[in-house]
Chains A and B, each alone.
Chain A
Amino acid sequence: MSPSVNDRVAGAALGIAAWLCGGISLLILIWVGVEAIPALNNDPGISSLLGDAHWLPGSVREPQFGMLPILAGSVLVTIFSIIPATVAGVGCAVFQRFYAPKWMRTFLRRVLELLAGIPSVVIGFWGLVVLVPILQKWQPPGQSLAAAAIVLAIMILPTVALTASTALKNVSPGLFRAAAALGMGRARTILGVALPTARRGIAGGVILAAARAIGETMAVVMVCGNVAQWPGSIFDPIRPATATIALEMSYATAGHRSVLFALAFFLVLVVGAAVGWIAFRKPSTPHRR
């Protein structure tokens, strides 16, 4: 074969690989979406999903599919994990960038990277055998929204801290020189100049972390208590969407199964929209940089 024919063959083969890779997400949307159609259509139908008071999919006489408590569980656990993770993560990044000695800076980054690498099932297991018993003594039953939020916060903290650290690093040195020339103290420079300048990057990291939290399954399912209810307090058990899918898919049939796929489809849309928004949001206006 001549070289130019080779090129065309290789180009076609690699092109197929590329379209295949790009097409997988479409396959996922279609295959999961198709399974979700009955649930949204009439089995049990949207009115049931939003209108039913309870989540009792297994009830023989009168199954109920009220998924609002489940969605609320997802949203609540995300909010309660993202707040401490943001505070601690940004604090950690500020300390790492502006206060820590050089050796500690690298050390902290390594620890954060290792923390990010701990698999969710291991953190969940730790939560189950260490964290939950502690909570149980204090505020039974232990497996609760609080436990899930703490475990999730540990999991997403590295994402927040590492992106915040990178964003702070990208603040132009000229700004720091200007602040120093104005006689500004370190705290004021950080709070008034560095953090506002880096806020886009930090916000991006927080949203990524939130997307991860709402989509996380294993760590949550092991510590959240798995009761599909509106939690009365932060120490009540909950059952977020991911946990519901993981626990019920193995025995779900017909409409119930379809509802689980609808939950999954919904998760893809929410997470995809969040990540897509970060990727495509408009560049900040020049005067803010």
Chain B
Amino acid sequence: MIGGAARLSRNDRLLGAAGGFAALVVLVGFGAIVFDLFQTGTASLSIPFLVGKVENGGRAGGIGPVLISTGMILLVCLAVALPLGTGCAIWLSEFASKIRFARAITAGIDLLASVPSIVFGLFGMVFFCRTLGLGFSITSGGLTLACMILPIVIRTTLIGLSGAPSNLRPGAAALGLSRVSTIRHLLLPVAIPGVVVGTTLGISRALAETAALIFTSGYATRWPEGFDDSGRAISVHIYDLAMNVPGGAANAAASALVLLLALLFINYLATLLADRWLLKRIAPTSE
């Protein structure tokens, strides 16, 4: 404790009150958002809602196809981002012999992390949908999201790898262990917590994303017939119901509640895992 813990002057108490008020605003604001969504969303929330097909533009029916599309987009996203991201992180930490190259790649990844999501949407639209000829599809949406979450996966994997004891690498090299064995048997076990945390954070970012998907995976509400089919993610569904479908607010609220609950759970999991495994190595979120 600082500044005379026993007796607080008037100024001290005033500053405390101001700070406390700010904290109260945050708590009340958060509470209000969650409460409002619960209140408006629980009415339409039911099992049939979760598995039923979308009817009447979303005003009626459920969100079954939307959840399936969301899952498929996520699947494509992770299938690409995980190997690519962990591979990139391993190369940066274990193979990059020229510091210049590593710096260039890191700068590219930092820039990638700063790109606004709507820009990812435009990029996905011209690059994946048109240049690569994938069309408005679940694949295009998943690939766009993969670009978006790559920086998260790479960063957390790097944090995980940096947790390896410093004498591990020279020790392994001195025994003539190949890099492949060193990575597989000694470094990956250390890095896996980072990969897991990165995956959870990546999933939460991908699930929350709307702007990048509007122009890549499209709006279709039918049951998706394959990865080359268009399909709307749940966030796009919420947006569309709220903005373009008069009378869609009730189902939008229920969908928002589903998304919110899923994300609160996943984020809670990520913080828990990060606290336990990465300890204080993820700076901004740790105490």
Contact = CB atoms under 8 A, between A and B. Distances in A.
A105 B287 contact: yes
A122 interface: yes
A29 B108 CA distance: 11
Contacts of A267: 116, 118-119
Contact of A188 (B11, B27, B210): B11
A246 B95 contact: no
A250 B235 contact: no
Contacts of A176: 2-3
B189 interface: no
A154 B36 CA distance: 15
Interface string A201-231: 0000000000100111110011000000000
B123 A27 contact: yes
A284 B105 CA distance: 26
Given A11-B95, A94-B15, A129 B253 contact: yes
A53 interface: no
B145 interface: no
A22 interface: yes
Interface in B262-282: 263-264, 266-268, 271
A260 B3 CA distance: 54
Interface stretch (A13-21, A41-49, A56-64): A13-21
B221 interface: no
Contact of B126 (A7, A24, A35, A121): A35
A106 B287 contact: yes
B40 interface: yes
Nearest to A34: B126
A64 to B, nearest CB: 22
A190 B286 CA distance: 21
Query: Which size class do A's interface residues fall under?
Result: 35 or more
B270 to A, nearest CB: 8
B154 to A, nearest CB: 6
Most buried by B among A113, A216, A250: A113
A237 to B, nearest CB: 14
A112 B32 CA distance: 14
B90 A14 contact: yes
A14 B87 contact: yes
A112 B208 contact: no
Contact of B242 (A108, A128, A163): A128
Interface in A259-289: 260-261, 264, 267-268, 271-272, 274-276, 279
A119 B210 contact: yes
Contacts of B109: 21-22, 25
A92 B18 CA distance: 9
Given A13-B87, A94-B19, A118-B263, A222 B243 contact: yes
Interface stretch (B62-70, B177-185, B191-199): B177-185
Given A6-B180, A218-B239, A186 B12 contact: yes
Contact of A25 (B108, B118, B208): B108
Q: Please list the 5 inter-chain residue pairs (A to B) with the smallest Cβ-Cβ separation, ordered nearest first.
A: A215-B116, A95-B19, A91-B22, A119-B208, A186-B3
23 contacts: A14-B87, A14-B91, A21-B88, A23-B108, A28-B112, A28-B127, A35-B122, A99-B20, A111-B26, A114-B267, A115-B29, A117-B204, A119-B260, A121-B235, A125-B239, A126-B33, A161-B26, A183-B4, A185-B12, A186-B9, A186-B15, A249-B215, A264-B116
